Homo-oligomer: A and B are copies of this chain.
Amino acid sequence: MSQQMTTPAYELYYWPLPFRGCFVSYLFAYCDVPLLEISEFEAIEELMSRSPEAQEIPFMGPPVLRDRASGQTLSQMPAIVMHVSGELGLMPDAPFDVAMSLKLLMDCNDILMEICRYNGSLMWEREAWIEFRTARLPRWLAILEASLQRGHLGGDPVTFADIGVFALLGNMTRCLPQLDGDVLQHAPGIHALCERIGAKPSLADFVALQETAYGNAYCGGQIEQSIRRMLAMDAS
């Protein structure tokens, strides 16, 4: 597909950070299909600040995906992922497998929300973080690992759920390498899956470009500072 496409068919609007946007951009990168990313802070803020009537799609926050040919526009990460996965060849065939893959993507979305404390609605404090790192995160990882053991992840062909797990954990451990050991300990098969997905050359190149652009910036803002403060305290 990518060989035939000189111009991207889709535009992705997201903040200048991989974070939630990489659940979408990694799908395209894995499949080596071009995607135009619009990530200027001011541009995103301007789109968000419009009244719903004046928005291309009435939405609260990015990511937003726009089909450049049809002008059709979508928000909400899981809806975007489901919509483009068929076209990209990342959608399972059987209806139950589709549902299970969406379930796993929702798990990843929930884990992301827990890490960033619901888009920074509250900051990490010691007691909550210790509970997260010693109980909630290990349980989430065990859920993903058990799903892998049962064949709902890690199959052939690769699905949007496999890439969703990498978008969650691959990006998390790249930005916050202190958590790599947590994934390895509680979900060794998932750790290996992330290494396999991330080794796809087109995706590895894309991640390298993101690292050049954004360094190890994770979710940004005070909430990222709060995560890094907790990790530093864990290490000391």
Give me the interface of A with B, judged by CB distance under 8 Å: 51-53, 55, 57-60, 70, 72, 74-80, 82-83, 86, 95-96, 98-100, 102-103, 106-107, 110, 113, 117-118, 121-122, 139-140, 142-147, 149-150
- So how many copies of this chain end up in the complex? 2
Write the chain B residue with the least CB distance to A144.
Answer: B58
List residues of chain B with CB within 8 A of the CB of A143: 52, 58-60
Structural contact, A99 and B118, CB atoms closer than 8 A:
no
With A78-B102, A113-B118 already in contact, the answer to whether A140 and B96 are too (CB < 8 A) is no
With A72-B96, A142-B58, A145-B52 already in contact, the answer to whether A102 and B82 are too (CB < 8 A) is yes
List residues of chain B with CB within 8 A of the CB of A122: 121-122
Structural contact, B113 and A99, CB atoms closer than 8 A:
no
Write the chain B residue with the least CB distance to A99.
Answer: B83
List residues of chain B with CB within 8 A of the CB of A140: 60
Structural contact, B95 and A53, CB atoms closer than 8 A:
no
Structural contact, B52 and A79, CB atoms closer than 8 A:
no
Q: Once bound together, how far apart are the Cα atoms of A110 and B59, in whole Å?
A: 12
With A74-B100, A142-B58, A146-B58 already in contact, the answer to whether A106 and B83 are too (CB < 8 A) is no
List residues of chain B with CB within 8 A of the CB of A145: 52
Which listed residue (B75, B95, B106) contacts A86, Cβ 8 A?
A: B95
